[in-house]
Amino acid sequence: MTNKNLFAREALAQIPKILTLLDRNPHSPTYGCFDRNFWHYKIIDFPSGMSQEFVFPLALIYDTDIPNNPYFHQPVIKDWVEAGILYAARSAHKDGSCDDYFPFERASGAAAFSLLACIESYILLNLEDSLKNKNIDNKTVLDFFEKRADWLAHHHESGQLTNHQALIVLCLERLSQLLNTSRWDKAKVQRLERVLSWQNEEGWFIEYEGCDPGYHTLTISCLARIYQFNPDIRIKEALIKAVELAAEFVHPDGSYGGEYTSRNTYNFFPHGFELVGHWMPEALQINNCFLQGLENRLSPCYADDHIIGHHTWNYLLAWQDFVDERLSINTPLNKLNHRIWLKNAKILIDRRENTQLYLALNKGGVFKLFRNNKIVTADTQISLQVQDKGKIKNAVGHLVAPYKLNISDDEITVSGQLGWAKQKQMTPLNLLILRIVMLTVGRFFPNLIRKILQRILITGKNDAPFHFIRTLRWQNGKWHITDKLHAQTWDNVISAGIGCDQTSIYVVMSRTFQKSQLQPWLDLTAEVKKLAPSQALEIKRQI
């Protein structure tokens, strides 16, 4: 029988960390703030609004009756949730927005995540009565909810992040119910239309430059809840396509996602699959397989100061809405000897004999390969350290680009140029410039600043002077991988190798640790040093 308590176990383990992040001193001016870097270490000059999302896991754990839960119905937990909501209101801008990574950023994601958390916590714990008993004006909280909802309804961020749009719809829906108002009906319709229009015909929702199965599950989670309140047939059809696609990305060991996805995440948000599972039993099989991964400790670590909250509350909701009547966990989720070619996403999934290959052809052939339901190899393409104009730069093969492809039944080839990795770091001068800009003209144009930073840190690719050809050939029950790398000169190459988890764009939820990353670095430096100027580097492997 599938053990739903695994969801609660994982979430419960994060609560001490979340409480450590919280200023729990009622006499402190920052009482209720979850940004420890701000209130305790004092190493930043503003609190991250995203941190106030952590009220939701606390509200849920307060209300979750499971063995070994020391927080169940503890009055002080409820007090801290109230304090967190009040601090969110107190630290917001006048228009209801909040910042995340730099002052006057006015970040949609942080505003949506934290507003949803505050609304849900307020409803779950019936805080209206609790605030009255403490002689706290309930209007303060509701006015804050309205201001932030108004801001979210009218603000349009740069970049295409479908999960943010779905979160905003859910926020507006929940607040409309709480206040019994039709005030945001038009905005809800417009945002929902955007979410549905951003779903590719292959089933995935766009996240920056393509398909990220991890954030895809968050969008499913939001849409599944929206469908509960608004049973629109279009939402149901979108969810069916989305769930069918998500099933293809569940690895045979129960893990999910990785560096072959557009945003390099191992995200998995299970709640939506439980909700959809009431009318689409196949969705429950996805969670069955993921629970096997949790049982085998294959979940990634999200226990850092900024992202610990997302999965914690979603796991608790999955436990709460768990469907007890479900198919056996032994029922296969995916067909064997079957190939899925997502032409628009440029991701190929090949299952044959005892192997499963997950291959990102929009990322130069980054892949994960499983055999007998265990990971054998993860590969994030060739990486070079290069001396270029007095600087040490990193040329990589895993950046998103329109590479040249040749795909047949038993052979796949991808070729193109390596790209310069995005390795921009903050320095005291850079931070000073950013602060001056944001405190003057930038505060009036935060979306422009965000767009510029996205271009620097996330999107786009600048070619490096190295041409690669990666070939994967199926022969005699094995995948044969040949990499060829051409360069005009090798003199400026300091080192070379292939890693299992390299990424080169800034994504908040990426670069988390997962057990499959205990794979050694394949050092190719000695091979490069042997090469003549016009000679190609060639690496052949059988897996």
Q: Residue 106 above 80 pLDDT? A: yes
User: Torsions phi, psi of 542, nearest 5?
Assistant: -115, 125
Q: Residue 331's pLDDT is what?
A: 64
Average pLDDT over residues 515-523: 94
Evaluate whether residue 381 is within a structural domain: yes
436 belongs to a structural domain: no
Residues 392, 292 share a domain? no
Query: Is pLDDT of 153 > 80?
Result: yes
> Residue 451 CB: number of other CB atoms within 10 A?
15
Same domain, yes or no: 289 and 390: no
Residue 254 in this model has a pLDDT that exceeds 80: yes
Contacts of 408 (CB under 8 A, 6+ apart): none
Residues 75-89 have a mean pLDDT of 97
d(CA 397, CA 504): 10
Find how far residue 175's CA is from the centre of its chain.
Answer: 25
CA–centroid distance for 106 within its chain: 20
For the stretch 277-308, what's the b/e string if a residue is b when 16 or more beta carbons lie within 10 angstroms of its beta carbon?
beebebbbbbbbbbbbbbeeebbbebeebbbb
Residue 516 falls within a domain, yes or no?
yes
Answer with the one of 254, 288, 320 that is the final residue of a domain. 320
Helix, strand, coil in percent for the chain, rounding step 5: 40, 20, 40
Q: What angle do CA 37, 39, 41 make, to 5 degrees?
A: 45
pLDDT band at 447 (very low <50, low <70, confident <90, very high): confident
pTM over 0.85: yes
- DSSP β-ladder status, 411-420 and 404-407: antiparallel
pLDDT of residue 235: 98
Residue range 334-345, pLDDT digits in tens: 777 789 999 999
In this prediction, residues 444-464 reach a mean pLDDT of 80
Cβ-contact 362, 401 below 8 angstroms: yes
Does residue 332 carry a pLDDT above 80?
Answer: no
**If you average pLDDT over residues 207-231, what whole number do you get?**
95
Q: Which strands, in side-by-side order, build the sheet including 366-371?
A: 338-342, 347-352, 355-360, 366-371, 374-379
| 448-475 mean pLDDT | 87
**259 with 347, same domain?**
no
Q: DSSP secondary structure string, 285-350?
A: HHHHHHHHHHHTT-SPP--STTTHHHHHHHHHHHHHT--SS---TTS-SS-SSEEEEETTTTEEEE
Evaluate whether residue 442 is within a structural domain: no
pLDDT bracket for residue 116 (50, 70, 90)? very high
Q: Looking at residues 442-460, what average pLDDT do you find?
A: 79
Please indicate, yes or no, whether residues 177 and 47 belong to a single structural domain of this protein: yes
Q: Is residue 333 part of a domain?
A: no
- The whole-number average pLDDT for the span 531-541 is 94
pLDDT band at 434 (very low <50, low <70, confident <90, very high): confident
Q: What is the mean pLDDT of residues 63-72?
A: 94
Across the range 532-540, mean pLDDT stands at: 93
Q: Higher pLDDT residue, 443 or 351?
A: 351
| Higher-pLDDT residue of 271, 338 | 271
What angle (nearest 5°) sits at the alpha carbon of residue 228, between those of residues 222 and 229? 100
Mean pLDDT of all residues in 208-233: 95
| Cα–Cα dist 437/107, whole Å | 16
Residues 76, 129 within the same domain: yes
Cα separation, 28 vs 36, in Å, equals: 13
Identify whether 159 is part of a domain: yes
Tell me how far CA of residue 217 lies from CA of 246, 352, 380, 510, in angstroms: 7, 26, 23, 15
Query: Does 226 lie in the same domain as 144?
Result: yes
Contact 341, 362 (CB under 8 A): no
- For residue 434, is it within any domain? no
For residue 219, pLDDT beyond 90: yes
Three-state DSSP state, 284: helix
CATH number reported for the structural domain that contains residue 47 in this entry: 1.50.10.100
> Is residue 529 helix, strand or coil?
helix
φ, ψ (nearest 5 deg) of residue 475: -155, 130
Task: For residues 345 and 329, give the distance between their C-alpha atoms in angstroms, rounded to a whole number.
Answer: 29
CA distance 58 to 222: 20
Copy the structure tokens of residue 229: 């309140």
**Same domain, residue pair 233 and 89:** yes
SS3 520: coil
Specify if 49 maps to a domain: yes
State the Cα–Cα distance between residues 530 and 493, nearest whole angstrom.
12
- pLDDT tens sequence across 15-57: 999 999 999 999 999 999 999 999 999 999 999 999 999 999 9
| Average pLDDT of span 104-129 | 96
Token representation of residue 41 = 């270490």
Shortest CA distance to 47 belongs to which of 3, 100, 109, 124? 100
Number of domains comprising the chain: 2
Q: Are residues 360 and 215 in the same domain?
A: no
Q: Do 316 and 343 share a structural domain?
A: no
Q: What whole-number percentage of the chain has pLDDT above 70?
A: 99
- Contacts with 346 (C-beta within 8 Å, 6 or more apart), sequence order: 210, 360, 361, 362, 363, 405
Do 317 and 269 meet the contact criterion of CB atoms below 8 Å apart? no
Q: Does pLDDT of 1 surpass 50?
A: no
Q: Rounded to an integer, what distance in angstroms lies between the CA atom of residue 543 and that of residue 356?
A: 12
pLDDT tens string 165-181: 999 999 999 999 999 99
Domain boundary among 289, 320, 351: 320
State which residues form the domain around 20.
5-320
- Asked if residues 419 and 445 have their Cβ atoms less than 8 Å apart, the reply is no
Which of 320, 352, 378 terminates a domain? The answer is 320
Same domain? 259 vs 344: no
Cα–Cα distance measured from residue 485 to residue 467, given in angstroms and rounded to the nearest whole number: 6
pLDDT for 473 equals 98
Please give the pLDDT value at position 226: 98
Residue 375 backbone dihedrals phi, psi, to 5 degrees = -70, 135
Same domain, 263 and 370: no
**CA distance linking residue 357 with residue 186, whole number of Å:** 44
Tell me: do 63 and 111 sit in the same domain. yes
Q: Is the pLDDT of residue 95 over 90?
A: yes
